[in-house]
Structure 1
Amino acid sequence: MKRHGHGLVLGKFYPPHAGHHHLVETALARCERLTVLVCASSVESVPLEERVAWMREIHPDALVVGAVDDIPVDLHDPDVWDAHMAVFRSAVREPVDAVFTSEPYGEELARRFGAESVCVDPGRTRFPVSGTAVRADPAGCWDFLKAPVRAALTRRVVVLGAESTGTTTMALALTDHYRRRGGVWARTRYVPEYGREYSELKLAELRAEHPGATWADVAFHSSDFPVIAQRQAELEEEAARDGSPVLFCDTDAFATTIWHERYMGTASPATGEVAALGRQHLWLLTDHRGVDFEDDGLRDGEHLRPWMTARFLTQLAHTGRRTAVLSGPHEERLAAAVAAVDALLAEGWHLTDPLPERR
């Protein structure tokens, strides 16, 4: 039998890290039921709903609820305490038997709930990390973060371009470059182009019925492209959950909108809807000039390469996407790409500070 009936863990979880998860798991082991209350202020960068979703995924056995708390913290002011407790009680209406914290305010918080205070690893000796440290340097705290948080914080870089312009070569070269940095960067992932796999499947299916069929016999339909875009987005999301702070993608859903124009001659609203949900940060456009066209059996658009490069540039600018154009020999392209990615990473994550606290 567990020691406590209803337990409570309360925090900003901005963002949640290994110390938070240890606290929740400890409480789950000691309570019949556990509520995790996520409190977020309006000034913070990560929305309350996203933090609640993260905690629900990571701790499915707990009841995770959220509340907006825009009251600055002052542990010495009873009136401020009363205001915070009004927020807490509006979100947690069931009586609480035990409050689990790692903070000095745990005793007073538990007293106000009429509950027992349980302090867990107050010195953070087991997991030497804090929300402040994660916000200041997500990459340096990467190993303390769970999959959904990593996915949200990963800087996603897309390599895109017309046919046979070296997008795959560049994406793989960048992946290798950052893996060589070691540490968390050794886990840098690469997301292949799903459209190519889809094309190979279409050709194989056609050849099953007509053995002599070639790429010229394959017909695309508008309905193919949202499927390609959605699967590309899913592969990207899966890789972002399990990689380093940077992810390299050989195309994305946005690029698929241009491929729809190339094959269908019109825009695809359905594909555009998938692209609008993307969380990419940088697009590297491979220039067709200076790159020989190689027909690998799935290409037929050499004459369209100038149009596609121009169309990519136009739409990247129109949609406000951060873009670097890669031109010249491969070595120059790679150097320019690394410089653009390093500049992105050097800017950091811009996670705003929480409301001021007086402890």
Structure 2
Amino acid sequence: MTIVVLTLAGEPIPGHLRYEWIRELYPDCTVVHHDHDMPQEPQNPHDIPFYHAWRDTLRKHCPQDDFDALFASESYGYQVAWALGVRFIPVDTARGAVQISGTAMRSDPWRYWAHLHPVIRPYFLKRVAITGGDAQTREGLAAALAAAYDTCHIADYAATFCADLARNIAGWSAADLTAQDIHTIARGQKASMDALARQANRVIFSATTLREIQNMSQARFGRAPDWLAAAAAAEKYDIVLSLDENGGTNGSLRLKAPTIDAARKALHGHLPPLPDAV
């Protein structure tokens, strides 16, 4: 099976992302990225140049394939298959299986969340970071908000890492943390973020950020790993709930939320409500 992912310049979702999604969703198929502009509709049922253009571009992009059938959901698939000299197998041309357009899903992903595959959900996920204060307060706030929004939260990996070492190594304390440990902490935090983003329900709450870990490393050891600085700069959140007045946001909306009640009130104006949300 060969899947051709057609993308156009200026589309709402970058074409390379759609291509990577399909590759991950169908690892046993050959996935081809077609990023050349092509006419999207024939001018009339007898628009032979249109059908031949699609025949030629499909053969150009899949030179190794000897097609025996064309699967498509467009009605003109019959004519393109004719031009290719293969059978046409229509796939839900009436759009009855999933009666939601791509435009509607993109405009209101919260409403149609159940139709989004976990591979794709991180792209539409709302991300809320909690910064400032102490780790225990941030963790409590993130967990409480996640429960209210029926989703999951990302714990502060540094706190759990230190607690685990203290529990298993006699006499160990946070004062024994080393600069090398920062690599482990930061990678653990990022791995947690990436994994839980696929499990989250519309929004995810993080008890810390890579920027916070970078700042901790700078304050403690006078330096931070170069890769961590780059990862922290690339990290984006829709909203930052601040327990104090310090820290940057990487362009995110910053809200002062020192308590759970303050956080709930602040989020009401910036996150679409869930049926049972606070």
Q: State the distance in 2 between where 1:269 and 1:131 align.
A: 39
Q: Are the equivalent residues in 1 in contact too, given 2:135–2:159 (CA < 8 A)?
A: no
Is 1:68 the equivalent of 2:38?
no
Sequence identity of aligned pairs in percent? 25
Match of 2:251 in 1: 320
**Is 1:334 matched with 2:272?**
no
Deviations 1:62-110 (A, max 9, x none): 1111011323423124444444444322211222110012221110121
Q: Displacement, 1:61?
A: 1.6
- Contact 1:129–1:144 (8 Å) recurs in 2: no
Root-mean-square deviation over aligned CA pairs: 2.5
Q: Secondary structure at the match of 1:117?
A: strand
Pair 330,135 (structure 1): closer, same or farther in 2 beyond 3 Å:
closer
- Quote the Cα distance in structure 2 between the aligned partners of 1:91 and 1:279: 35
Runs of at least 5 residues in structure 1 that lack an aligned partner in the other structure: 1-33, 180-187, 208-212, 288-308, 346-359
How far is 1:176 from its partner?
2.4
Task: Compute the displacement of 1:214 (Å).
Answer: 5.8
Number of aligned residue pairs: 270
- State the partner residue of 1:249: 206
Q: Is the 8 A contact 1:165 1:286 kept in 2?
A: no
Please state how far the C-alpha of 1:342 moved relative to its aligned partner: 4.5
- Paired residue for 2:59, among 75, 89, 97? 89
- In 2, Cα distance between equivalents of 1:102 and 1:92: 20
Q: How does 1:106-125 map to 2 (within 5 A)?
A: 106-125=77-96
CA distance in 2, matches of 1:270, 1:221: 17
CA distance in 2 between partners of 1:275 and 1:225 (Å): 13
* Alpha-carbon contact 1:230-1:253 (below 8 Å) kept: no
How far 1:285 moved relative to its partner? 1.3
Secondary structure in 1 aligned to 2:269? helix
Deviation at 1:271, TM superposition (A): 1.7
CA distance 1:235–1:283, change in 2 (3 Å): same
Summarize deviations over 1:38-74 as a string: whole Å, max 9, x none.
Answer: 0100111322222121111111121111011323423
C-alpha distance in 1 between matches for 2:180 and 2:23: 34
Distance 1:152 1:333 in 2: 24
Q: Which moved more, 1:251-260 or 1:72-81?
A: 72-81
Instruction: Output aligned runs, 1:304-319, within 5 Å.
Output: 310=246, 312=247, 315-316=248-249, 319=250
Equivalent residues of 2:145, 2:260 under 8 A apart = no
Could you tell me how far 1:279 is from its partner in structure 2? 4.5
* Residue 153 (structure 2) aligned to one of 175, 190, 194: 190
User: Residue 258 of structure 1 aligns with which residue?
Assistant: 215
Residue matched to 1:49: 16
Partner secondary structure for residue 37 of structure 1: strand
Q: Which has the higher contact order (CA 8 A, sep 6+)?
A: 1
Q: Shift of the alpha carbon at 1:322?
A: 3.0
TM-score normalised by L of structure 2? 0.86
Counterpart of 1:56, as a letter, is R
> Structure 2: which amino acid aligns with 1:331?
D
Measure how far apart 1:277 and its partner are. 4.3
Gaps of 5+ in 2: none
- Tell me the TM-score normalised to structure 1 length: 0.68
Kept in 1: contact 2:130–2:241 (CA 8 A): yes
Which amino acid in structure 2 is aligned with residue 339 of structure 1? G
3-state DSSP of counterpart to 1:111: helix
Q: Is the 8 A contact 1:48 1:67 kept in 2?
A: no
